Structure 1
Amino acid sequence: MPRTASTASTASTARSARTARLVGAAAVALAAALTLTACGSSDSATGPAKVVQQKSDSPYEGTVLGKNFEKPDLQLTDTSGQPYDLRQKTTGRTTLLFFGYTSCPDVCPTTMGDIGVAMKKLSPEERQKVDVVFISTDPQRDTPQVLRSWLDSMGSDFIGLTGDLAKVKAAAKSLGILIEDPVVNADGTVTSTHGAQVLAFLPSDDKAHVLYLSGTEVKTFEHDLPLLAKGVAA
């Protein structure tokens, strides 16, 4: 049966509400983590969290984090179908980490595409020092083959990972990024609502030091990637 305009409108409204909930929740979770670290206690928050402001003397245009998140201890499957240990494979390397899904209609292709454009501005030596890792939030549909085909349009050397969604959600949560289970819409499409932050891990300690929110412009990545490749302190 064809969908009516009313049904389509309702589905669209529901998707928008889920997105708004998650974006708000992710912002609060990340802001809380940053603020609680600054307070020196994980149990003493008594008021609304506030995002730590970027240091005025930072060389980066991205937001420097007040808490340097540990790289998740996560084992998934890469686009060649082989086991991939995130910590082990990216130890001592600059790593940009993003959670999303290949059938995402907007933020995922835009974010990964912008990073891809900026990566092409790096010298071959700089590019070899940076790992761009995309972790699927819709592993049932994002098979290794689907991921590889999708990522190749942005960066043939981009790393795609897929696997147990519970592990993915736990890893994202440890970084202040919230992910909801994929939802099959009435028209058969799938919505996987997720936080849209990109986290940059420096090679010096394998911790996240710089944050890029949804909507970050290409010129910001173009400015920051050479610094990240060199491992410049935030």
Structure 2
Amino acid sequence: MAGGRAALTASLVGLLGLLTACGSGGGASPAELTGTPLDPPFEVSSTPLVDTDGAAYSLTEDTDKDLTLVFFGYTNCPDICGQVMATLAGTLARLDDAQRDDVDVVFVTTDPARDDEAVVEDYVSAFDPSIIGLTGDLDDIIEIGRSMAVAVDEGQKLPSGGYEVTHGTQVLAVDGDDEVPVFWKADVSQAQLAHDVTMLLDQG
């Protein structure tokens, strides 16, 4: 049994670790959840990043809600990041007040060279003012992403002076035990995600 779980985890890590240059993928719907359950779940790194107020923020120490939805992206992303952020904002709008009190959404930039606190604040606020935006040292972001099987590349400098940033595009759920029990592909819909969030909250 342990060997089977290890093989499953290795397979999922390989799948999730695929780098995407802001492209969308397909989505299957196993069991009742649209998302993909993880057994065993990923253990989230406690390394702190920096929120839009300049304070330290850890995805383990500072996530005190029953469920935290986390997405890694960057503000200059031309397509998929905006799509996923809109999905997350729309999902929050579908939840009732009690559910919203139990859920946080966190955006982690993968392009801290350009995405400082002010830039991230403007970006997340445009989708929903309640979304928490994080930046920090790239090495720390890479480490945290790795713990959640999110591939984050250092990026390639372009002649324009910007960067082409490559990153995993999945949405991850962090539960009250600071683990990731389920993830969703980037093409999950607002209705699907809201359904799954409701299920996870009901399960406690």
Per the shorter chain, which TM-score range? 0.7 to 0.9
Show the counterpart of 1:113. Answer: 86
- Decide whether the 8 Å contact of 1:64 with 1:210 is kept in 2: yes
- Decide whether the 8 Å contact of 1:79 with 1:147 is kept in 2: yes
CA deviation after TM superposition for structure 1 residue 120, in Å: 0.7
Partner amino acid, structure 2, of 1:166:
D
- Decide whether the 8 Å contact of 1:38 with 1:66 is kept in 2: no
In the alignment, structure 1 residue 224 sits paired with structure 2 residue 192: no
**Could you say if the C-alpha distance between residues 50 and 198 of structure 1 is closer, same or farther in structure 2, counting changes exceeding 3 Å?**
closer
In structure 1, how many angstroms separate the alpha carbons of the residues matched to 2:108 and 2:187?
19
Runs (4+) of structure 1 exceeding 3 A deviation are none
CA deviation after TM superposition for structure 1 residue 134, in Å: 0.9
Task: Tell me how large the CA RMSD over aligned residues is.
Answer: 2.5
CA deviation after TM superposition for structure 1 residue 177, in Å: 1.4
The gaps in structure 1 that reach 5 residues or longer are: 1-35
In the alignment, structure 1 residue 130 sits paired with structure 2 residue 103: yes
Counterparts of 1:64-103 in structure 2 under 5 Å? Answer: 64-91=37-64, 93-103=66-76
The answer to which structure, 1 or 2, has the higher relative contact order (CA under 8 A, 6+ apart) is 2
Q: Secondary structure at the match of 1:89?
A: coil
**Could you say if the C-alpha distance between residues 126 and 40 of structure 1 is closer, same or farther in structure 2, counting changes exceeding 3 Å?**
closer
Partner amino acid, structure 2, of 1:184:
K
More strand by share: 2
In structure 1, how many angstroms separate the alpha carbons of the residues matched to 2:138 and 2:15?
30
In structure 1, how many angstroms separate the alpha carbons of the residues matched to 2:5 and 2:192?
31
In structure 2, how many angstroms separate the alpha carbons of the residues matched to 1:40 and 1:130?
29
- Aligned with residue 209 of structure 1, among 154, 165, 181: 181
- Decide whether the 8 Å contact of 2:36 with 2:183 is kept in 1: yes
Deviations 1:100-134 (A, max 9, x none): 11111111111011110111111122111111111
In structure 2, how many angstroms separate the alpha carbons of the residues matched to 1:187 and 1:38?
49
Show the counterpart of 1:151. Answer: 124
**Could you say if the C-alpha distance between residues 50 and 114 of structure 1 is closer, same or farther in structure 2, counting changes exceeding 3 Å?**
closer
In structure 1, how many angstroms separate the alpha carbons of the residues matched to 2:172 and 2:80?
15
In the alignment, structure 1 residue 39 sits paired with structure 2 residue 4: yes
Count of residue pairs brought into register by the alignment: 188
Identity %: 32
- Decide whether the 8 Å contact of 1:54 with 1:64 is kept in 2: no
In structure 2, how many angstroms separate the alpha carbons of the residues matched to 1:194 and 1:50?
13
Return the TM-score normalized by structure 1.
0.72
Show the counterpart of 1:9. Answer: none
In the alignment, structure 1 residue 182 sits paired with structure 2 residue 147: no
Larger radius of gyration: 1
Partner amino acid, structure 2, of 1:223:
H
